[in-house]
Amino acid sequence: MVSLIGAVQAQEIVPRPARMERGAGEFALTPATRIFASGGALAEASMLRDYLRPATGFDLPIVADNAANAANAIRLKLDPKLSALGKEGYRLVSDARGVTISAADTAGLFYGAQTLRQMLPADIYRKAKVQRSWTLAAVKIEDQPRFGWRGSHLDTARHFMPKTFLLKHLELLAQNKMNVFHWHLTDDQGWRIEIKRYPLLTQVGAWRSETQLTPRPGDPPGLRYDGQPHGGFYTQDDIREVVAYAAARHITVVPEIEMPGHARAAIAAYSELGNNPDKKLSVGRDWGVIPEVFNAEESTVRFLQQVLDEVLVLFPSQYIHVGGDECPKIEWAHSPAALARMKQLKLVSASTTLQDLQDYRDAQGKPAEHPALHQLQSWIIGQMDGYLTQHGRRLLGWDEILEGGLAPGATVMSWRGEEGGLKAASAGHDVVMTPERDTYFDYYQADPSSPGFREPLGARQVTTLQRVYAYEPVPARLSPALAHHVLGSQAQLWTEYMPDSRHVEYMAWPRLLAMAENLWTPKALKDYPQFQQRLAPALQRLDAQDVNYRPADGPRWPR
C-alpha cells in the first residue's frame, strides 16, 4: 500500500495513518447496516454502535454470524495473524459493501473504530440526530503507533477540575489515539484524592483560602490574591469511575502523588509530616516552589506508603508517579532529625554538623546544596521504589530523581530538557520525554509582545502548534541501540493560570492534535503543511463536541 498526501478528501484522519490507499466508490451507512462481531470483539462493537447511534439515529444490530458476503455491514474481527501490527495496530478496509476492521487485540479494534468515525462527516460526533447522509470513502488502511506512550498530563491540584470535564478530556484523547492520562492529584496548593485512612488530607488539604493572581503590566508591585476560597477533591468512587471510563477507551490512568517536595497541602493536614511539626501551616496559596517538604522520618515514609496502599487499589496502572521534582532542601539542612538520618544512612560523616550542610560550596566556590541532601531525597524515593516493586508496580518520577542516584526500578520523565532522559537511558532506564520547551501547554501559543495580542495568560515563553508538531521525542544524541528506552511523550497541562476547564481546552487544543500525530505517525510521514490541511476537519470535530480550542488562524479570547 502507498501513503497518500491530500488525495483523500472524505477522511482527513488525525493522527495520519501509517499506510493508506484510496479505493473506488464509497460506503453508505443506513438503518439497515449491521455490525458483525463475536467473542472478544463484542465490547468494541457495542461501543462503536453507541458512538454511531446519537447523530445517525440508527440502532445498528450486532450480529454474531459473520456472513462473509453480507452487504451493508461493518465487521470487527480479532485476527492473530495481524500480531506484527502490535496490540494497538489495525487494518481497515472499506468499499461499497461495507467496512472491515481487523486487529490482533481489542485496542487495535478500538483505534480502527476511531478512524472509521473520522472518515464520516464531523456531525457524527453530535449527541442528537442530524438529518443527512452518512458516507465514507473506500480505502485500505494498515496502521500502528510509533510510540507506546502517547499521553496527556493534567494538573488538578492547582485548580480543581470537575469529573465531567475529565471524562470529556478522556474521550477526546481516545478519539485521537492517545493512551495515557497522567493525573496530577496532589501538590502544595491542594490534595485532591480521598484517602480513607487519612481523612484530613481532603478535609483540610483540599481547600485553600485564596489564590495568587499574577501581576500584569501596570499592576502595583507585589503579590495579589483573589480573596476567594478554592478547593475540591475526588472521592474514591469518582476515581473508580474515571479509571473505568478510561480503560473502556484503552487509556491508562497514571496517578501522581508528589513527594518529598510539593507537600505543603499534606503537611497542613498532618503537621507531623513536616520538618517543623509545631508550626501550623495552611494549604499553599502561592505558585512556584514552596519550601516546606516532607521530613525523612520512618513514620513519614510509612505514612506515604499507606497512602499508596489505597492508590494501588484504585489505579491498576503499572506506573505510579511520585513526583520527586523541585524539592528544596533548606529545611533538611536546618533539621537535626534530617542530619541524624543522614548519619544513620552514612551519607555524611559522624562529625558533620548542620553548619557544614548550610555552608557547603561547589567546586567553583559558589553556595550549593550538599550532595548528602540529594542522597537523602534519593533514599526516600528508593523506599518508594522498593515498595512499588514489591507490589508489582514501577516507580515514575520527574528527572530530579536522578540527583543523588537513581532507584533501581525507576522510570524517568525528562522535563528539564533532554539531559535527564539521555542520562537515564544510558543507564538502562526507560524514559518518557517531556521537555518543557516543547511539551508544556501552559506556555503561550503566540508572542505576548506581538501587536493586538489577545491570548489568555501563559506561564512563560511561546510554544506554537508548529513547534509541538516538529518535536522529536528520540534525541539525536541518543545511541540508536538505546532508542527503545524512549517510551514516548506527553503534553503537560499545568493549571496555575488555568482556573477552569474552558481555559484548559483553549491551551490544550489543537496542540494536542499535533502531539497525537507526533506520537502515532511514522516519522517519515510527518508533514506540517499537510497536517494543516487535515486540521480543518479535525477542528470541525471539536466544534461538534463544544471544545473551546484555539482557532488555527488566531485567538478566540476572551471566551
User: Which residues are tagged catalytic?
Assistant: 187, 262, 326
C-alpha cell at 199: 481523612
H-helix or E-strand containing 513? Answer: helix 511-520
Q: What contacts 553, CB < 8 A, 6 or more positions away? A: none
Closest CA to 425 of 437, 436, 414, 438: 414
Q: What contacts 132, CB < 8 A, 6 or more positions away? A: 121, 123
- Check if the beta carbon of residue 388 is closer than 8 Å to that of residue 309: no
Q: 523-527 long-range CB contacts below 8 Å, 24 or more apart?
A: 523/146, 523/472, 525/3, 525/16, 525/18, 526/16, 526/469, 527/5
Residue 66: DSSP 8-state: -
- Cell 480503560 belongs to 247
- Cell 516543547 belongs to 438
* 240, amino acid identity: R
Q: Is the peptide bond before 260 cis (omega within 30 degrees of 0)?
A: yes
Q: Is the peptide bond before 15 cis (omega within 30 degrees of 0)?
A: yes
Closest CA to 117 of 42, 23, 53, 31: 53
Q: What contacts 484, CB < 8 A, 6 or more positions away? A: none
